Amino acid sequence: MNEKKFLLSDKQIPSAWYNVVADMPNRPAPLLDPKSHQPVTVDDLSHIFARSIAEQELSTERFIEIPDRVRELYRLWRCTPLVRAYGLEKLLDTPAHIYFKNESTSPVGSHKPNTAIPQAYYNHIEGITHLTTETGGGQWGTALAHATNIFGQTAQIFMVRVSYNQKPYRKLLMNVWGGNVVPSPSELTEYGRSVLAEEPDCSGTLGMAISEAVELAIKNPETTRYCLGSVMNHVVLHQTIIGEEAVLQMEMAGEMPDVVIGCFGGGSNFAGLGFPFLRKNLTEGAKMRIVAVEPASCPKLTRGKLCYDFGDSAGITPLVPMYTLGHTFHPADIHAGGLRYHGAGSTVSQLLKDGLIEAQSVDQLETFAAALAFARTEGIVPAPESAHAIAVAVREALQAKEEGVQKTILFNLSGHGMVDMYSYDQYLSGALGDSSLSAEEIARSIEASQKRVGLL
């Protein structure tokens, strides 16, 4: 079969999201209240999230129906194409078949609206008029600004300072859709002011930005809730629309992947593509490899510890059972801002512990080399985050060539990089480098965080 693209109509948009928790042989340990260390309830989470979202977070149902209004809005860009990367295959001279799910076709250029739309919707029907959030590379903040604009809500977005400075057009996109964006740490919150008092030039982290967004939300419980773009189960749930479509499209292509790959910050796009294929492993006996790819400079899956940790730097969120580098870990200022997060979601963490998924890390220079190869053969400039998945797809294709075997590779092109061009300028001018972490640095960060968690 020589087709380049495999397309579904908007009438084929999936009617339900898939909840992998229902099929896991070992379900994740519960989220814990940070003070009592007791499992959190829907009521507990409803102080932070919309109640419908809190219910989804703790749900063990296999499939959760997508509301008609959300499916209607998905039609703005869904279903997204599945594409055979013939140009990249030719460049690598590989017997492997390489496919990518192109999530860059959404209005904001990434997969993030898959969860921003339902999160804004559920808050809207519960009367919430103001949403707060954090954003790393800016894709999530852009998506939430777009979603809140649809539902007549306002959005306060805390953008990690280093990305705020590196990616000005992301900030402008948020402004276009009515979002208010400030660099984090900021002067808007007590936590932000405390960080700046100690370190005025702090470049920020996702953990810090989460702390600011949650603080602002819980101070205004009548009108405001917090939303986030990764890590939590309900976010992963919404993103599985990617993989549900991709399963149908791979059937159209006449083959199933041997390996499914996604870049990894907190888990949203990786799990969104991978979990529906993992379902085939768990329930049908398939043997597909599901691979998460993280930056070598922020290696929670490959070098972190599985333990309870805070999702934020200030220590005000529920405790999450996660692979973590410690909630006070400050990653290097790499250009893949969306992957600069200290921890991983509880479902991904449990699946990794059980050996049901894999994890690899990639240095920044290898990532950008793969991005250029993809851009020059397939015509799409990928986001620096997505380029991590491309790098491992290249590794897998070259391994297939070396071994002389045919292999089918599927990766998630989670977003384009057309507003990330500063990072490409830095790479092409030779200004970028790799960052390394010693085992001692990681151990110190984890130990410090665990003492604060209080579960040692």
Record the tokens describing residue 401, joined without a space. 């060539």
**Helices 241-253 and 268-284 meet at what angle, rounded to 10?**
60
Does residue 285 surpass a pLDDT of 90? Answer: yes
Residue 455 is predicted with a pLDDT of 65
Q: How confident is the model at residue 136 (pLDDT cuts 50, 70, 90)?
A: confident
pLDDT digits (tens, 9 = 90+) for 79-97: 999 999 999 999 999 999 9
pTM: 0.96
Name the residue type at position 121.
Answer: Y
Least confident window among 306-310, 333-337, 416-420: 333-337
354-to-96, 349, 383 alpha-carbon distances in Å: 28, 9, 30
Mean pLDDT to the nearest integer, 133-152: 95
pLDDT digits (tens, 9 = 90+) for 331-371: 887 766 778 889 999 999 999 999 999 999 999 999 999 99
Does residue 60 surpass a pLDDT of 90? Answer: yes
Does residue 132 surpass a pLDDT of 70? Answer: yes
Return mean pLDDT, the chain.
Answer: 95
Mean pLDDT to the nearest integer, 319-327: 95
Q: Are 416 and 265 in contact (CB under 8 A)?
A: no
Distance CA 103, CA 123 (A): 25
Least confident window among 23-27, 95-99, 268-272, 311-315: 311-315
Percent of the chain residues topping a pLDDT of 90: 89
Residue 166 is predicted with a pLDDT of 85
Q: What is the set of domains in the chain, with CATH numbers?
A: 5-11+67-109+234-453 (3.40.50.1100)
Mean pLDDT to the nearest integer, 423-427: 94
